[in-house]
Amino acid sequence: MMRTAMDEAFDALRSAPTYLPLHTLMGDLLVKEGRSQDAIAKFSVVAHAYGMRGEVGQATRLLRRVIQLAPMDMAARTLLIDQLTARGQVDEAIQEYLDLADIYYHLAELDMARKTYATALHAVQQGNASRDWNTTILQRMADIDLQRLDWRQALRVFEQIRTLRPDDEIARKQLVELNMRLGQESLALGELENYLTYLGSIRQYETAVIFIEDLIRENAEAAGKKIGTTFRKALAEQLHLAGRTDDAVTLLDALGESLMAENRKPEALEIINQIITFNPSNVEDYRVLLKQVQES
């Protein structure tokens, strides 16, 4: 039955060899026969013919058929992207890039996936695509950089995300942690301060508290280091701003005792002074303690 349908198509083709819908029908029949490669060749030729005639919509539809049958057909996908871009359908063109990058990603071809994402990003910045694509693509590029342990490249990408989306908590945390991994503690603290300033500007103190608590929990190895102390001081400040002064004082009390036990007197004095600035109900006790430590 299927053979008969193809025979009839060939017969019709003799009298109308340039009738492109007939060629498309033959491609459909080839798909049904399981002859995918022949169907791909047929659809590709017909798509090219439609393109030459200026019927870009029809060409686009057939190129999509080719890609469905052969997702890795670079020639078809590139031509489809060009067609979509020419028609002003830039967002759809970007999606095609992302679909291709995802295929590379799942095949563990991370270099090709990242290159494709980079091409998509360039297309976004050059065309009239939605700017929302920027962060979507950058996040995927950063994910690949992290998997490849390319901390510096990941850092650069997350810096771009932070600029575009200052409220992106994941990017903010990565910026702190990546700088720590690279031994750039001052930059890590600068990123933390920058984010806390941003959250303070929109009065999101509880969000800041949770953010720092997560940092402390996920970076336990920093507990005895100066940066770990700075994290806890920052947490106490945010607790105070959130109206949880008692919790802030309790935290600083424990931190101050730990610093004194380690003979880190200058840092302990900073902690006591910080408590005094919070003006707890027993602030006079801390003023007395401050004098005792200074004279010890």
In degrees and rounded to multiples of 5, residue 108 shows phi and psi of 65, 20
- The whole model's pTM is what? 0.81
Helices (H) and strands (E) in the chain, counts: 16, 0
Confidence bin at 2 (pLDDT 50/70/90): very low
**pLDDT at residue 43 is higher than 90:** no
Token digits of residue 33: 């026969």
Going along 212-262, which residue ranges are E strands?
none
Identify which of 4-13, 22-31, 50-59, 96-105 has the greatest average pLDDT: 96-105
* pLDDT tens for each residue of 147-204: 999 999 999 999 999 999 999 999 999 999 999 999 999 999 999 999 999 999 999 9
Task: Give residue 223's pLDDT.
Answer: 66
CB neighbourhood size of 128 (10 A)? 9
* Cα distances (Å, whole numbers) of residue 100 to 52, 71, 93, 185, 248: 26, 8, 11, 38, 50
* pLDDT tens for each residue of 228-277: 999 999 999 999 999 999 999 999 999 999 999 999 999 999 999 999 99
